[in-house]
Amino acid sequence: MYKIAVLGDRDSVLGFKALGLDIFPIEGVEEGRQELHKLAKEEYAIIYVTEQLAQSIRADIDRYKTSVTPAVILIPGKGGSLGLGAQALQSAVERAVGADIG
């Protein structure tokens, strides 16, 4: 049985608690990085990360791109969307096609 985690600043993730997801409020960048790796080792199949946090730990997130679990998915935090999710999509397309096809 797998679980779902939500990672990000307190105000962005608090609401997910009511849905029954496990939330992990993160204060600093280093804390977020450690938490992400810890959760990835546990039985979390999906980890939602706010874009605000994700943009400072991008390399750590990319590490899980090729493994089947966990799926690290970016969601907009309370500051609104930064377009990182769309950017990830773009980079996946680029990787597959070998060129930027827009």
Partner 1 sequence: MASATINPTRMELNRLKGRLKTATRGHKLLKDKRDELMKQFLEIVRRNRVLRRKVEEGLEKANAAFTVASALMSPEMLEQALLYPKQSVELDMTFQNIMSVNVPRYAFHTKNEDPAEIYPYGFAQTSGELDAALEALSNVFHDMLELAEVEKTMQLLAEDIEKTRRRVNALEYVMIPGFQEKIRYISMKLDENERGNITRLMKVKDMVLQEAHDFKQPANG
Q: From CA 3, how far away is CA 45, in angstroms rounded? A: 6
Q: Is 77 in the site for partner 1 (CB under 8 A)?
A: yes
Of the candidates 9, 33, 63, 85, which one interacts with partner 1 according to CB under 8 A?
85
Question: Under rule CB under 8 A, which residues in 45-74 are in contact with partner 1?
Answer: 45-46, 48, 65-66, 68-69, 71, 73
Shorter beta-carbon distance to partner 1: residue 17 or 38? 17
The whole-angstrom distance between residue 59's C-alpha and the CA centroid of its chain comes to 11
Q: Are 74 and 52 in contact (CB under 8 A)?
A: no
Nearest distance from C-beta of residue 59 to partner 1, angstroms: 15
Q: Does 75 bind partner 1 (CB under 8 A)?
A: yes
Return the closest-CA partner of residue 35 out of 17, 51, 49. 49
DSSP classification of residue 99: S
